[in-house]
Every structure is written in C-alpha cells, then in structure tokens.
Amino acid sequence: MTPTALSEGAPDPVEDFLKRRKKATINDVASLARVSKKTVSRVINHSPSVRAETRDQVNAIIARIGFKPDPQARGLAFRRSFLLGLVYDNPNAQYVINIQNGVLDCIRGSGTELVVHPCDKTSPDFIDEIRDFVELQRLSGVIVLPPIAENRQLLSALDDLDVPYVRITAMPGEENTPPIASTQVVSRDRMGCRAAAEHLADLGHSRIGFISGPAGYASARQRRQGFDEGLTGRGLTLDPVLIVQGEYTFESGYLAGKALLSQSPRPTAIFSSNDEMAVGVYKAAAEQGLSIPDDLSVVGYDDAPIAARVTPGLTSVRAPIRDMGRAAADALIAENRKDSTIFDTTLIVRQSTGPAVLAFKP
Amino acid sequence: MTPTALSEGAPDPVEDFLKRRKKATINDVASLARVSKKTVSRVINHSPSVRAETRDQVNAIIARIGFKPDPQARGLAFRRSFLLGLVYDNPNAQYVINIQNGVLDCIRGSGTELVVHPCDKTSPDFIDEIRDFVELQRLSGVIVLPPIAENRQLLSALDDLDVPYVRITAMPGEENTPPIASTQVVSRDRMGCRAAAEHLADLGHSRIGFISGPAGYASARQRRQGFDEGLTGRGLTLDPVLIVQGEYTFESGYLAGKALLSQSPRPTAIFSSNDEMAVGVYKAAAEQGLSIPDDLSVVGYDDAPIAARVTPGLTSVRAPIRDMGRAAADALIAENRKDSTIFDTTLIVRQSTGPAVLAFKP
DNA sequence: TTGTATGCGTTATCAC
DNA sequence: GTGATAACGCATACAA
C-alpha cells in the first residue's frame, strides 16, 4: 500500500510524525503500527512468535520513520551493553593497533562498538580496575592481549565475572589449566621460529646469536623453543654464550646486538625475538662497520611495518595479527561461539639474511 | 563508629547486605542509609543541597557496600553516555595510536571510556554512518582526526547533532568559517617546517627536493608553506622541478625519492612531508649507492618511532601528538570547556643531515 | 534540606 | 500471537 493512496482528507500519521523531527522511540513505532511496544520489541529481537504480516507491517514503520533501538535502554533491560572491551598492557603500539584494526574489521556494522582500555599490570589494583571496567560497562565481551592474557589472577577474575572473553596467546592450551577455560586465539610462534632457524642453518650459519624476549612472556618461551627445535633439526644447538635476554624494545636490542657482536669470534647471524630489537641490532652492526647481510645475517619476528622499510629489508617471521584480532572479535560476536582458533606463522625472507661463508672472517 | 561496636544482638544490616553478594544499586544505598533514592542521587552528583552530615552518612554506606552507579542507567536518565568517540579515517597507524594514547592518558580514572570508530571517507554514507554512531551511542564527546577533521560536511553534521567535539588540525581557524565553530587542537606544522628549511639552508644546501603530502590535506599545505617560508628567509626558493607530490606512504616516498635522485644535477637534500616517505627516500638513496648524509641530507616530519630507529637517525619535525590527544580529551572532559589549544612543533636533528659541500659532486 | 511521583527506552512476566 | 504491567537503575519536577 502506498501512503499517497490513502484518502487525501486524512493526513498520514507517519508523515505527521516525520514532521516533528524527533528521534523515534519504540513507542512511536508501536502507536503508528497500531501494536503494542512488546510486539515491536519482538520484531526487533527477531522473535519467531510474531505473525509474518504483523512483522512486515512493523518493519515498514521502522524503516519509514528511521527507528533505531537505543543501545543504552536496551542494555539496561538486557543487563548488558553492546560494547566489546579491549584490555591490554602492551608497549608495542603497532601490535595493539593491528589487533584493534582486526577487531574493528569484524564488528563494523554489527551494532557493537569497541572500547579500548589499557591498564598497568604493575599497579596494585590492576585486577580490580579491570573488574570494575568490565562490570560497570557490562561488556558483551572482552579481548585480552599478551602479556596480561597469561595472568592467571586476571583470568580467574574474568571467569568470576562470567563475561565472555578471548585471550590472544602464543601457546595453545598451556595456561588453560582449570579453572580457566576461555576461548583462545593462538599464533604458532614456534612454527615460524623453527623456519627461521632452518633458514639460517641452510645458509650455512652455525655461530648464531639469539636475543630472547623478556622472562615470563609466553611468546618469548615459544619463540626460543621453536628456534631451538629448528636448529636441532639441522644438527645444531644454541650456544649459551650467544643467548642474550632482551625486553622487546629497540634499545634492548641494540645493547644485546652490541654485546653479541663484541664477542670473538662473533656470530655470523642473529635471531631477534622481535623486529624492534632486530632494528637495534642493525644499529649495533652499523656502529661496528658490519654490513648486513654480508657480514651479518639478521632475522626478526613480527614482520612489523618497519621490517619492510629498513635497508636492507629485514627477514622476519610474520604472524597474522590483524586476522587474529578479527578472529577474537568474531568469537565473541558470532552466534555459535567458536572454540579456539590457531594461526600459522611464516618466515618472510628479505635481504637481511645471506650465506654464512661471506660473514665468516674471524 | 565501628560496626562491631554495635549491639551484638542486632545484626548490622550492612553486613547483612554484603553477605548477599549482589551488585549494589542506588536503592540498596538508600535503604541502608535510611534516606530516599533522590538524596543518594544528589550525593552521587555532588549536589550542594545536601546536609554535610547526610552526605557523609550516605558516602559511608556507598564506600562500605562498594556501590558504583550504573553508567547505562545513568546515561539513560541523563540522555547521554559516558563515552568519548574517536572518529578517523587515517592510514597512519602510529599517528592514530599516539592520539589514542593521549586521550586514554586523560580519561583514565575519570569514569569515561573511549570508543574507537574508524570510518571510510570514500563511502557514500560516510556522514550518515558517523551520525548514527554519535547519535546512537549518545556520546558525551567526539574527537575527529585529520584528514576528515577538515571535511565540512562532517563538521556541519556534528554541529547539527550538537555533540561537543574537538578537531585535530594543522591550521588554526582556517576551516572554522561559519557555521562551523568547534574547538580545535592545533599543531603549528609550519613552524617546524620553517625550522627544517632553515636547518638545511644553514648547512649550505640550495638544491633541495621537496616531497609534499597528498592534495587536499591541510597538513600538506601547511608543511609546504612553512618550508617555503623558511627558504625565503634564507634567500632561497623551492625549484618547481624539485617538488614531487607524495601520498604519505612509504611506497610513494620511495618513488618520489627515486624521481628526485634521478635528476641531474641531483638535489643535495630532500625534505619529505612525513617520516614514512622519508624512509622511502632512504631506500631510493641506497639503491643509487648514495650515502646519507654524505651524499644526501634527508629531513622528515612526525618524528615517528622509526625516525630514531633507522640508520642514520632521521632528522625530523616533532609534533607532540600524544599531548594533542590528551588536550583534545581534556577539552571534552574538563568542567570549564576550553578554547582551542595550539602546540608548537620542533626540529629534532639527528644524523641524516650534513653539510652540502660533501654532497656537491655533480 | 529531603522525599514522592514520574520518566528515560527498552525487555520480561504472565496473562489473554 | 499479542498486550498490559512491571522491571532495569538512575535522574528530574515538583512538593513538602
């Protein structure tokens, strides 16, 4: 039925309403559609127990007056908001925004919005602060990033709040011992590091430096383990003298690189547990007049934007971080909640790695 | 008064309540404090018309049972949420997260949370989409980033919504012609670029390449203008042949650098309108066997993390981006709403710039 | 200074 | 299948 087909004398109540230019509420829809609020509510929430005819009629009104349910009122009644929370204490801005972009990819147009909430894991009321955030905002889901995704206190607090949450981690299962039983989005850090080790071994390197991540980080453990496995597979082992602990920062990578390169004989290759530190190694190498990859091969982890920008391009292990963010959000938004998702990591070979024979001048 | 001091026979109603382990509401506070909901509400909202005695008594109960007003219910009644929106369509992840971190610095502990909402300025319903977001979430404030902070359609849409909003821009006032009259957080892009030009001129450079930002970007115009001013002050001018337009991306910087360096005589210095492109110039220079700064001086803009990480360190103009994010949030949160804030930019000299005399071998 | 009744916009209960 | 009424948790208008 077209509105203009109505008798000219009686003005269309819908047109009448539109002239008022007021934000439409469920009441307006109800009265214009000549049904009760509850019926409108049923239509909004796709309740099956509405006659098709009624439903279409209500939907027509909704479309005409441009009604959108108020998330706050809806949330109040539902006892939950339509917000996802991103909780992290991670100094790597690039990592955080990659995840964030993935999450945003997923929720775009879904009616759910993303609230970002960094925190300070060294604060005494770190847990309470997050608990308040989640509880107060009545989040419909929470995404937790490493390293606090490995914090058992936090996890059990989230369990208590019984809010759906997803952890992003580097090791499947490991920290999921009871009572923690959350969904995980996992990257196979070991896999890519194994490939990195094999790549270096195949280039003839045997004197290889290793810059690890900070103690207590699952990613640091996994990368170390993967690298070990790769070397072992090639009949090599990591010389304890050539292992330096870094902090995932540029500065720590620089210092570690300096320390490694001052040894005699010096390593012909260095694996750095992230790109940030790898670029620190670049600086250390430049200071010593060493050229990459001729005098020294370098491999990083993350395949951060900087890896493709430095000269020479940095060979690095890529994890599909944005995809992981997307998967995390999807696990929280999707109807049928998924189990954990696991992502492979792959070695991206650029120009920072070359044959050991060139570098071997003791 | 200590609770335990009460008569042992009559159990403390507060203790009684705490045993129930239910989330406290304003009703609980009211009944335990033996006042009406309204009085509790007054205390929460710091109404002056509450007797100090009553206030303290209510606050005591609030503290004991750990009551926190529900933002959703509060928002519903207030007709606004306690959320700030960050709206942007900016490919520079580092920039976005810097702003974001500044905003988060400011709102931490304020009870306000940040909702990030990227958008697509090329989409046909770009404006509508943002309007819906702001209206539906009843945001208490919006922060708009460049380049869409210069989009008049968007600005007037925000004006219509009469939501407090702050724009982050590179040029004070310019695009604030009526009816737009929003608060601005401004960086003096020209200032730093003027300094960059002077720096290069003082090093003896006169054949200087200039890589601009994309057409239509206020920042691109301002940086160009500042650089011009700086050269003019030193009796130099920009050779049109040595001006190439970039897109603020690494790739576009690489191509622009390649084009500039293929000229004969080639420039002895290149100013790039952001760091991303400047690093592209590094790559182009390396390919041509040119060493920085001996054969070529390079200056960037942003002082992004990468500027300090590449070798040699990139001389770059620094804008206090995080501070600007903080200022933007502050303008929206603070009691007495501020006017626009303007931030200076400064030249950070590193190792990528040197005397022209060395580079001058035509 | 304090309380009562009512509204904010939606959903849940339980009738019909 | 549909509707009247009471939540949801808090704020405002108006009295007292």
Q: Residues A78-84: what's their mean pLDDT?
A: 96
Given pLDDT bands bounded at 50, 70 and 90, which one contains residue A175? low
Among the residues of B140-217, which ranges form H helices?
Answer: 152-161, 189-202
Q: What would you report as the CA-atom Rg of chain A, rounded to the nearest whole angstrom? A: 28
Residue A178: the pLDDT is: 57
Amino acid at B355: P
Whether B113 sits inside 8 A of A133 (CB atoms) is: yes
Nucleic strand C within 7 A of Cβ A152: no
Contacts of B309 (CB under 8 A, 6+ apart): A250, A276, A279, A280, A283, A306, A310
Give yes or no for residue A81 having a pLDDT over 70.
Answer: yes
- Residues A268, A272, A274: CA angle, nearest 5 degrees: 155
Give yes or no for residue A68 having a pLDDT over 70.
Answer: yes
Whether A250 sits inside 8 A of B72 (CB atoms) is: no
Contacts of A227 (CB under 8 A, 6+ apart): A193, A194, A196, A197, A210, A238, A271
Whether B101 sits inside 8 A of A93 (CB atoms) is: yes
Whether A310 sits inside 8 A of B308 (CB atoms) is: no
Residues of chain B with pLDDT below 70 are 1-11, 173-181, 336-337, 358-362
Q: What would you report as the CA-atom Rg of chain B, rounded to the nearest whole angstrom? A: 28
d(CA B206, CA B215): 25
Contacts of B89 in chain A (CB under 8 A): none
- Chain center to CA of B185: 8
Residue B39: the pLDDT is: 93
CB pairs under 8 A between A and B: 99
**Which carries the bigger pLDDT value, residue A157 or residue A5?**
A157
Given pLDDT bands bounded at 50, 70 and 90, which one contains residue A1? very low
Task: Tell me if residue B131 falls in helix, strand or coil.
Answer: helix
Percent of chain A exceeding pLDDT 90 equals: 83
Structural tokens at position A253: 């990578």
Give yes or no for residue A78 having a pLDDT over 50.
Answer: yes
Arithmetic mean of pLDDT over chain A: 92
Query: Of the given ranges (A186-200, A330-344, B45-59, B187-201), which has the lowest mean pLDDT?
Result: A330-344
Residue B175: the pLDDT is: 59
Task: Tell me if residue A305 falls in helix, strand or coil.
Answer: helix
Give yes or no for residue A344 having a pLDDT over 90.
Answer: yes
Q: How far is the CA of A331 from the C1' of C13 (A)?
A: 32
Residue B26: the pLDDT is: 94
Q: What is the pLDDT of residues B266-313, one digit of tens each?
A: 999 999 999 999 999 999 999 999 999 999 999 999 999 999 999 999
Nearest to A91 by CA among A58, A120, A57: A120
Nucleic strand C within 7 A of Cβ A262: no
N residues, chain B: 362
Q: How far is the CA of A39 from the C1' of D5 (A)?
A: 14
Give yes or no for residue A14 having a pLDDT over 60.
Answer: yes
Our CA-based measurement puts residue A113 at a distance from the nearest CA of chain B, in whole angstroms, of 7
- HSE-CB at B113 with a 13 A cutoff on CA atoms is 30
Structural tokens at position A317: 């292990």
d(CA B91, CA A271): 30
Q: How far is the CA of A219 from the C1' of D15 (A)?
A: 65
Which of B72, B96, B135 shows the shortest C-beta gap to A138? B72
Residue B171: the pLDDT is: 80
